[in-house]
Amino acid sequence: MKYIIVSFLLIATSLPSNAQWSKIADFVGTDGSATTNELITCIYFLDHPGPPRIGFVGSESELHKTTDGGKTWYSVWNNGRSYSGYYVTGICFKDSLIGWFSISNNFGITGDQCYKTTDGGESWKQLNVPNEYYSDGDAIYYDSCSNRLFLSLDKLIRISKDLGNSWSDSLPYAATTFSFNSCLYGISVTNFFPDTTFGYIVTSNGGLTWDTIHPKNRVGSYYVLAIAGTLTCFEADDLGGGGTKICRSDDFGRTWRVIAYFPSMQYCTGIIRGDFSRLTIQTDSGMYVSVDSGYTWTFDGGPTYITNFSNDYFYSAKGVTFAGMTYGNGADDGGGLW
């Protein structure tokens, strides 16, 4: 396949960051498990009409909530443990009251990977997920068409048909994210077992059944973005210090092509957010934005990223972006929410 390589449009990083970026919060563990700024592990806002207002930020030891678009935050859950190995990885909601978050649990405690709220995130109850203890990535998703909740664990995806009260089914894969273009059509980057190869699983019926895809020209990202109402998907592929590629599929993950390559960006989160009119990624230089469906990109300032947690460092929708800084002053630091 012929690859289209498009030069990456950069505004010199020596210029000041764009004025719309500002730090709005720092998170320090209120339970005494942390005394300095905590790294942010995920960001999520409910999809209500108007600008994003009700949202959540997971930090190394807690989950924080805002009801005013990020102006103020308060803690709604803390892990009660040493924060370095136990933190929120992904969040999803069924409606304004019922939601879930997944846990990366490196303490080896089976059954403790998912929590549920029935009061809009004011309080959370642990659910018993059998046999597994590890979850990572933005790998929890509720589908309204099938009324199924999907939770990716170490080597399988657990499925609940009753909003997380029981987990009767599973898939023999591990997913890093679920991305749906509607409540019927979804795609996930997947680790297949026992050969541990990567590919995709796709559904066209809300997750009732899944097909596997092993594209020959797979680009290698762990996260995929499905564009609503289309068969187009995007990936931002961090080459592990060798630059970053932006890749596009127009047949829902079956074939891919590189549409932009920028060798100077050594690290990115691997996550791409947005739609055809505005796409956003986060790199070790800051945020970059494309307004032409991913072909050219402009430096947007804002918080920087370098490898640490492998989760949702930023949220971008409705013209608003929230991002956590995980790199600054030459070393990893908390950096706060921007």
Among the listed residues 69, 72, 43, the one whose alpha carbon sits nearest the alpha carbon of residue 57: 43
- Residue 327: closest CA among 289, 287, 278, 272: 287
Query: Residue 122 has what pLDDT?
Result: 98
Over residues 45-88, the pLDDT tens digits come to: 999 999 999 999 998 888 999 999 999 999 999 887 655 677 88
Output the six-digit token pair for 167.
Answer: 């987990």
pLDDT at 150: 95
Structure-model confidence comparison of residues 326 and 199, the more confident one: 199
Q: From residue 15, give the alpha-carbon distance in Å to each of 142, 312, 329.
A: 42, 27, 17
CB 243 within 8 A of CB 266: yes
Tokens of 190: 């997947």
Residues 263-267 have a mean pLDDT of 74
Partners of 189 in the β-ladder: 200
126-183 residue pLDDT tens: 998 886 655 555 689 999 999 999 998 878 899 999 999 999 889 988 888 899 999 9
**Of the ranges 245-259, 273-287, 303-317, which one carries the lowest mean pLDDT score?**
303-317
Q: What angle do CA 213, 193, 181 make, to 5 degrees?
A: 35
Selection from 59-73, 195-209, 226-240 with the highest mean pLDDT? 59-73
Residue position matching structure tokens 């500002």: 22
Where does the pLDDT of residue 3 fall: very low under 50, low under 70, confident under 90, or very high at 90 and above?
very low
Lowest mean pLDDT among 23-32, 49-58, 95-104, 204-213: 23-32
pLDDT of residue 79: 82
Residue with more model confidence, 76 or 223 = 76
Share the mean pLDDT of the chain. 83
Is 264 or 223 the better-scoring residue by pLDDT?
223
Query: Nearest 10 degrees: CA dihedral of 105, 110, 113, 114?
Result: -150
CA gap 227, 276 in Å, rounded:
8
Query: What percent of the chain lies above the pLDDT cut of 70?
Result: 79
Predicted pLDDT of residue 107: 67
Mean pLDDT of 105-109: 68
pLDDT category at 194 given cuts 50, 70, 90 is: low
